[in-house]
Structure 1
Amino acid sequence: MDLGSTGIWSIELRTADPDEIADAAAELDELGWGTLWIPGLGGGDILGDSERLLRATRTAKVAVGVASIWRHQAAEMAAGHARLQAAHGRRHLLGLGVSDPAAAQNAGHPYRPLADMGSYLDKLDQAPVPTPPAERLLAALGPRMTELAGRRTAGVHPFMVTPEYSAGARKQLGEGPLIAPYQAVVLERDPAAARAAARDFLGAFLGMDHYARSLRRQGFAEEDLTAGGSDRLIDSVVAWGDVEAIGARIQAHRQAGADHVCLHVVGAGPGMPLSQWRELAPLTT
């Protein structure tokens, strides 16, 4: 599935007023964004939210980035995905993640990430209408989950990673599998203001063990993970500045081996960040 070179990742495309979401999605499609990504959040009707975006767009792909396997039954996801593909020109990509031990425990299961994800993929394969590997991907961060993604899905959608991570993933996966990193962006030229906005959103994730371990593997030290993240960490995983600076980060990921980069505008205040999406639109080419 061709996702285009860049996409938009947005919480608001799941949580805002439905009519506002539809209007924004149609505009993003017209602006040339290749894929619209929506997060899993706490579960809910993510396939219904995908369908709203598919109905509002003509060419843009719609990707789930990502659904927790603990909050969505495989049979229901396979059936819903198949229905969306048939109705909307095979423009839907199903992203999956294993979340963390707490999510598994809340679902009444022990946490065995690789085995759990492997079993879930088996169920997608065995559904009455199977979900093809090319139409699903994993929120892989560690090398073993990345290897599983390369064998059994279209590829990986990693969160809070650097271009160097993209290079390592490409080296591990070889040519072919998709690498589509999430990239937080702040359209702010003042360093202090930009970093503060980044910390407001990303700081909470630094206390989550699976993200902290990923950042340590990427070369960050314990002191980088405190107080909302060091300047070094924030500057490495968040693209801030003007459109040119953000474009340079996209290019760095692509030169490192990424196929597609999805941009999440943070620090824009409440509501749909339409003005920022419009400002960033030159990066679709």
Structure 2
Amino acid sequence: MSEHAGNLKQQVGRYGVWSVGLRAEDPERRDERAEAVAELERLGFGAVWLGGNSSARNAVPLLRASERIVVGTSIQSIWEHGADAAAADFAEVEAAHPGRFVLGLGVSHGPLVTDYRRPYSTMVEYVDALDKAGMPAGRRVLAALGAKMLRLSRDRAAGAIPYLVTPEHTAQARETLGEGALLAPEFKVVLDSDPVRARATARAYLASYLELPNYVRNFLRLGFTEADVTGGGSDRLIDAVFAWGDEDTIRRRISAFHEAGADHVALQVVEQDPRGDLPREGWRRLAALLG
């Protein structure tokens, strides 16, 4: 996949924005979302990643409202969207907006899926079906945490989009992926230099993720302890998976992912309601501090 991944690396650039709010389907906020993605493009972000079990349908309005920025799903659940339908949707979007849509796929989490089973094998079957339907492997990426899914990302996709990870995970993932594949981790940012307030904002958002075993297991593999992943997360865990502080600190924390081997970092601005907000002033501040 290295040739296709190289093209994708160039398209998405070093920085993108990860947002649940941009995937929302509330018609009353359609114009606001269109204005927001057009501004993100002007600010220089290379990609928008749509959280919350997103699909091609969520990407289309943003693609129409912009000219160059790449829009990807992060992620589309393989349990809720059949492979044949996903391939057909991709082909339709690709025809209208060539080279600008990336299908990000993931296996979600056991507590969120009825009849959750054999996630890795099911993902292999899913990408087999995508291949059969003619969906190009170079335009899909996988939400991979463990080594097996990372290898699948390398061999059957353009690369990986790990969520809720650290630079240490990025270094391990790069070793597994090799140099060719795209590695685009998500990273959360709280634009607040007050430690008590920033950690409180981060902890309130992290709490629900600590109920999902895939993330907890990954934290334990990275050397965190059971104490770190209980009670909303220890300060040690919060400080590892969120950037907060002054501009120099946040810039340094983001740079650590690139230094560890990331090609692109998908930045999620966390405020009081990150699942519903469009933190446009936060995105402007990020763009300014990143230069």
The answer on 1:213 being equivalent to 2:222 is no
2:41 is aligned with 1:34: no
What is the CA distance between 1:75 and its match in structure 2? Answer: 0.8
Task: State how far apart, in whole Å, the 2-side matches of 1:23 and 1:5 are.
Answer: 22
Unaligned runs of 5+ in 2: 1-7
Cα offset, 1:173, TM superposition: 1.4
Residues 1:234 and 2:257 are matched in the alignment? no
Check the 8 A contact 2:183/2:263 in 1, yes or no: yes
Over 3 Å counting, the alpha-carbon distance change for 1:208 and 1:79 in structure 2 is: same
Distance 2:15 2:135 in 1: 24
1:89-168 alignment runs, 5 A limit: 89-104=98-113, 106=114, 109=115, 111-127=117-133, 130-168=134-172
Alpha-carbon distance between aligned partners in 2 of 1:73 and 1:238, rounded to the nearest angstrom? 33
* SS of 2:227 mapped into structure 1: helix
Runs of 4+ in structure 1 displaced over 4 angstroms?
Answer: none
| 1:131-172 CA-partner distances (Å, limit 9, x unpaired) | 211100111111111111111011111111110110011111
Task: Normalising by structure 1, report the TM-score.
Answer: 0.93
Is 1:255 aligned to residue 259 of structure 2?
yes
Which residue of the partner structure matches residue 6 of structure 1? 15
More displaced 10-residue stretch of structure 1: 46-55 or 223-232:
46-55
SS, match of residue 220 in structure 1: coil
What is the match of residue 273 of structure 1? Answer: 279
The RMSD of aligned alpha carbons is: 1.5
Secondary structure in structure 2 of the residue aligned to 1:89 = coil
Cross-structure match for 1:48: 57
Q: Mean Cα displacement is larger for which, 76-85 or 241-250? A: 241-250
Q: Is the 8 A contact 1:84 1:90 kept in 2?
A: no
Question: What amino acid is the match of 2:247?
Answer: V
- C-alpha separation in 2, matches of 1:151 and 1:48: 27
Instruction: Specify the code of the residue in structure 2 equivalent to 1:277.
Output: W
Amino acid at match of 1:216: L
Q: Contact conserved, 1:70 with 1:103, CA < 8 A, in 2?
A: no
3-state SS of paired residue (1:223): coil
Q: Is the Cα contact below 8 Å between 2:201 and 2:271 reproduced in 1? A: yes
Count of aligned residue pairs for this structure pair: 277
Aligned letter for 2:287? A
Cα displacement (A) at 1:244: 2.5
Report which stretch shifted further, 94-103 or 164-173: 94-103
Structure 1 gaps, min length 5? none
Identity of aligned residues (%): 46
